[in-house]
Amino acid sequence: MGPEMYSGPDRCLLVCSRPQLISPQWGRLAAYSRCVRNGNKSQAISKPNTEFKGNPMATTHVEPQEDTSHAGQNQIINDLSIQVATVNGSGSQTANLVLLRAIFQMGIPVSGKNLFPSNIAGLPTWFTIRASKHGYIGRRRDSEYMVAMNPETAEEDVMGLKPGATCVYDERLNLKRLRQDVIFHSVPFDQLVTPVCPDSRLRKLVRNMIYDGVLAKLLGIEMEEIHKALQKQFRKKAKAAELNWNAARVGYEYADKNLVKTDPYRLERMNATQGKILIEGNAALALGSMFAGVTVVTWYPITPSSTVCETLTDYMKRYRVDKETGKATFAIVQAEDELAALGMALGAGWAGARSMTATAGPGISLMAEFTGFGYYVEIPAVIFDIQRVGPSTGLPTRTAQGDILSTALLSHGDTMHPMYLPSSMTECFTMAIDAFDLAEELQTPVFVMSDLDLGMNTWMSAPFPYPTRPISRGKVLSAEDVRRLGGFERYKDVDGDGVGYRTLPGTPDRLCGWFARGSGHNEKAIYSERPDVYVNNVDRLAHKFETARLKVPGPVIADSQKLEVGIVAYGTSHWAVEESLDQLRREQDIDAGYCRLRAFPFTREVHDFINRYQRVYVVDQNRDGQMLGLLRLDCSAGQIAKLRSVRHYDGLPIDAHSVTDAIVSQEAAN
Amino acid sequence: MATTTVPSSPSSKTNRVGLEMAHYKGNKSTLCAGCGHNAISERIIEACFEMGVEPHRVAKLSGIGCSSKSPAYFLNTAYGVNAVHGRMPSVATGALLANRHLIAIGVSGDGDTASIGIGQFVHLMRRNLPVIYIIEDNGCYGLTKGQFSATADIGSKLKTGVVNDLPPIDTCALAIQLGATYVARSFSGDKRQLSALIKGALAHNGTAMLDVISPCVTFNDHEGSTKSYSYVKDHDEPVADVSFIPFFEDISVDYDPGTTTSITLHDGSQLLLRKLTADYDPTNKGAALQMLTESHDKGEVVTGLFYVAPKQPNFIDLLNVMDDPLATLPESKVRPPKEVLDQVMESLM
């Protein structure tokens, strides 16, 4: 890498300040003080709890627990995971989202993760809801509550519970016999659903709502919030809302009369979600794209990316139809395959549209040739990659950061592509907008690397900020410009940043036309196979990538006092790492620094971070440490020697303990 | 006798938009001397000049192969993309979505279309995108030295003696069946017919698919080839004699409605189809497909306008997009105001 990579503005200053570093603690303190204000003084005191242990192979994790005088027993408030095991296609998604939303409406930080099969109906699916007063929204390995509805998986589900957990189950499954150390609550779902849902065809879809009512009673979820959440879920379908509401009520009443609560977990109203939204990453990307001013959208359905363009279509039809003419200010086309989807996006980008496509790993593979074409011809387009486990068949509905390396270097010949690495809903929104600007400023395909966890799960977020920067269309010359200049050379590096000036097809002057073709062209876009012309061209493209290094967002850095152990992570791993940092500090006395990557190419701050730490753990959700690999390509030998790897690749979202365990064991061997 | 106008060869040096023929020229061809593709480039140049096409509105598009080099050999001041193999249709689609006022002229080959590009080809035809799609069809891969393509006829022989034993893909039959609205076959050596068909394509609003037999003088012009100059000349059976009358010409001509069919195209131009041997109705899809099957069985190379449906809505119309090019809409049209974001955020709370 040339020295110019270090010459950019220090973009990181704004995000490296101390409040960033200690925000989790501040958040927790704030939550505690709110509880105190709410009148439950006992919650402010905490003591270690060694009762529950996770994986016996793992380090002992000490969970915070609060004493309370309430009902004379220990209570744990607003800190639990609920896992619901159902069969997909049975209406469970509605019941789960209503539960999630009701908890959210009670002001409790909450997250939901849907673990679903590649199937429409009949296969097992699990939904995990985590409520955390600390604001932790990453996945947890264990759940305190299980709702067992699926006969096929029920036994295994119960056997996997940690001792002391609570299991609500369908009476027919007769699970009580399986374990002594789990609290069981049997519920006769069939018996309860019949009177509230006379139409036998609908029963299958409605019966899951009963567990919402049961859990509401057992955990203290306010039924009024369940009702509100149902109204929101069904909007205009009043009849369906009523049916479901009756089912929830019957569940609540059954629990009230028949179940005796013995577990310590409770949900209580707090005030940590006010003004927040619930959204999925794919919808956030769609909104970002709409506000970025996207005009041409070409795509091919593939899980987990399809809802990016489907949601976008809904929003565009509502908000992007010209009021004066009734005509669309956009074109959305479902292409015949991913090759065509990117071909269309590049054709549109060449002709001046803000164009995009969205896909997943197999689509990325198919787009390889066109991506190289876009890179060499220098055409803007934005590609959203909602990553998943590979390959085309296998685990298409499971999450992974599986395309990092292949996307960064996608295609043949010498190619490198900028990638944004969103971690949150807000970043999905803002990075989508930034990606369109960057693609046009650099005249190149730009990737936004989400994943299934971020894209398809429901996340809590602050409302998105309206863009303050005007749309940036990059270096485009008008006919007047070209006439004034007496002509233009498409691929000449006039400004020293590796980016030439372009004209758009249709620009009305005979001096404006140019012919786009691969790498075999000179600065005037005229065919040439001369060795010196080729070298000049690809060297300029490499220089352009250094310009990208100065334009992409730098990392978010939170330094530790000791500058010994550093963690580098990106994307959805952030939520596990944020929690792991607290675990490491609290349980292992390891004070680690944190560098959250937000883009590739890596900016100077990433190198500086590695320089100032002794050991740097790179967290990847893939088997081969793909980001680690990219860092190795970009780092000096001295920096490489410091890099270590934390990898999680079982198809489930990464959890904090996985990060903590991996670091602790490697530190012990140090 | 019906009366209409007739084409005239432009007598003045400048056309109706004030440009000379020289403005429509391209770079010097690097294809083989005598290549049929060069003749097709000449016809495109003439047609664009005579029709008064503004070069800056033209998007020249191609894939990979000898054919796909040819956009560099006409309309030098237009815009062009030499895309990847078989994928020109998607690039053309994107370009027209971005700017519906572009005149898209796509040039492909038989390998680029009927083999690697068949997937995108069929979907382009199906969408009736307003594009002129010319296949420079020589039945072989020239740029990789003469392998058979998927339009080679059964029994056709390579220079090396290898005989093709698979049936050809009839791109015209495919295009008609899939929904293209202007489908013709011609021969690079038939100057008059090809010129009329290209001008008709420029006047058409929808997918105009022209399969032009264009012999490869280097690899497929020998005895035993069914795509050689001599074979095509000997077996060429035009379905009708085609004349083109542009909307802006003002000369009257008499024709006999009993022997001649007149087709009015989107821009008001007319195609006059004079019956040669049998009755032929180019607006009848089923008849077109039957005729292609029968003539193929007889070993004829049938040429002419096979099918036309001038009034079908094209893909861009179906999408209900604005008349102004999407590419250059101002920020006020493409970024909704803050109130919209507030409203969406409210709905998610």
What residue of B is the nearest CA neighbor of A338? B90
Please determine, for residue A56, whether its predicted confidence score (pLDDT) is greater than 90: no
pLDDT given at position B279 = 81
The fold of the A279-461 domain, in CATH, is Rossmann fold (3.40.50)
CATH of the domain at B340: 3.40.50.970
Nearest to A298 among B76, B94, B316 (CB): B94
Q: Which residues of B touch A508 (CB under 8 A)?
A: 54, 56
Tell me what percent of the residues of chain A surpass a pLDDT of 70: 89
Does B107 map to a domain? yes
Query: What is the topology classification, in CATH, of domain A3-22+554-668?
Result: Rossmann fold (3.40.50)
Q: Distance between CA atoms of B45 and A487, rounded to whole angstroms?
A: 24
> Rounded to 5 degrees, what are φ and ψ at B194?
-65, -40
Residue A74: per-residue pLDDT: 84
Alpha helices in A82-199 (DSSP H): 92-105, 154-159, 189-196
Mutation choice for A interface testing from B324, B326, B332, B346 by most A CBs within 10 A: B326
Percent of chain B with pLDDT over 90: 89
User: Rounded to a whole number, what is the distance in Å from the CA of B33 to chain A's nearest CA?
Assistant: 20
Q: Is residue B272 part of a domain?
A: no
- The answer to whether residue A70 scores a pLDDT higher than 60 is no
Q: How confident is the model at residue B11 (pLDDT cuts 50, 70, 90)?
A: low
pLDDT confidence of residue A549 = 98
Question: Hey, of B129, B341, B343, which one would you mutate to test binding to chain A, going by the most A CBs within 10 A of its CB?
Answer: B341
CB B302 within 8 A of CB B237: yes
Q: Which residues contact B278 (CB under 8 A, 6 or more apart)?
A: none
Residue A73 pLDDT level (bands cut at 50, 70, 90) = low
What is the interface size between A and B, counted as CB pairs within 8 Å? 227
Q: What is the mean pLDDT of chain A?
A: 90
Question: Could B91 and A344 be called an inter-chain contact, meaning their C-beta atoms sit closer than 8 Å?
Answer: yes
A100 touches B at CB < 8 Å: no
d(CA B27, CA B24): 10
Residues of A in contact with B333 (CB under 8 A): 322, 329
- pLDDT of A39 over the 70 cut: no
When pLDDT is averaged across residues A406-430 and rounded to a whole number, the result is 98
Is the pLDDT confidence value at A423 over 70?
A: yes
CA–CA gap between residue A529 and residue A522 (Å, rounded): 9
Does the residue B258 lie in any domain?
no
Q: Which residue of B23, B326, B341 is in closest CB contact with A296?
A: B326
Interacting residues of A258 by C-beta distance below 8 A, sequence separation 6+: none
| pLDDT at A123 (0 to 100) | 87
Instruction: Identify the band that residue A76 occupies on the pLDDT scale cut at 50, 70 and 90.
Output: very high
**B199 min Cα distance to partner chain A (Å):** 21
The chain B residue lying nearest A466, using CA atoms, is B338
More confident residue, A89 or A453: A453
Which residues in B lie closer than 8 A to residue A315 (C-beta atoms)?
A: 344
Report the candidate in A142, A221, A135, A143 with the shortest Cα–Cα distance to residue A460: A135
Residues contacting residue B140 through CB under 8 Å, at least 6 positions apart: B110, B111, B146, B147, B148, B149, B152, B158, B216, B219, B220, B227
Q: Is A473 helix (H, G, I), strand (E, B) or coil?
A: coil
pLDDT higher than threshold 60 for residue B222: yes
Distance from CA of A477 to the nearest CA of B (A): 12
Per the domain annotation, does B205 fall within a domain? yes
Calpha distance A209→A186 (Å, rounded): 15
User: In this model, does residue B270 exceed pLDDT 80?
Assistant: yes
| Cβ contacts of A369 on chain B, cutoff 8 Å | 84, 87
**d(Cα A201, Cα A219) in Å, to the nearest integer?**
30
- Interfacial A residues in 346-365 facing B (CB < 8 Å): 346-355
Peptide bond into A304 cis (omega under 30): yes
Contact B349 A290 (CB under 8 A): no
pLDDT score of B160 more than 90:
no
Q: Is residue B182 part of a domain?
A: yes
List the single residue in A296, A335, A347 with the smallest CB-CB distance to B92. A347
Predicted confidence at residue B74, as pLDDT, reads 98
Instruction: List CB contacts of B321: < 8 A, sequence separation 6 or more.
Output: A327, A328, A329, A330, A331, B97, B100
Span A636-646, mean pLDDT? Answer: 98
- Write the burial class of residue A12 (CB in 10 Å: 0-12 exposed, 13-18 middle, 19+ buried): buried
Percent of chain A with pLDDT over 90: 85
DSSP A18-52: HHHHHHHHHHHHHHHHHHHHTT-GGGG-EEEE-S-
The domain of B235 spans 7-248+277-348
Length of chain A: 670
Q: Which of B48, B56, B61 to mutate to test the interface with A (most CBs of A within 10 A)?
A: B56
* CA contacts within 13 A on the Cβ side of B232: 24
Test B323 with A279 for CB contact under 8 angstroms. Answer: no
Cα pseudo-dihedral A301, A305, A309, A311, rounded to 10: 120
Q: Specify the residue for token string 């979907």.
A: B123
Fold equal for A3-22+554-668 and A279-461: yes
| Inside any domain, residue B254 | no
Kindly report, residue by residue over A93-152, the tens digit of the pLDDT. 999 999 999 999 999 999 999 998 888 888 899 999 999 999 999 999 999 999 999 999
Instruction: Give the span between the Cα atoms of B316 and B127, in whole angstroms.
Output: 9
**How many domains does the structure of chain B reveal?**
1
Q: Can you read off the two tokens belonging to residue A85?
A: 């095991």
Query: Which top CATH class is A63-266?
Result: alpha beta
pLDDT at A23: 32
Q: Answer for the pair A391, A361: CB distance below 8 angstroms, yes or no.
A: yes
ipTM of the modeled complex: 0.96
B238: CB partners within 8 A, 6+ apart: B193, B276, B302, B303, B304
Give B20→chain A minimum CA distance, Å. Answer: 13
Residues A328-379 pLDDT 10s: 999 999 999 999 999 999 999 999 999 999 999 999 999 999 999 999 999 9
- Domain ranges across chain A: 3-22+554-668, 63-266, 279-461, 479-551
Chain-chain contact of B54 with A278 (C-beta, under 8 angstroms) = no
A351: nearest CA partner in chain B: B95
pLDDT in tens, A296-323: 999 999 999 999 999 999 999 999 999 9
Interface test with B, best of A105, A276, A289, A296 (most B CBs within 10 A): A296
Nearest to A506 among B71, B99, B344 (CB): B99
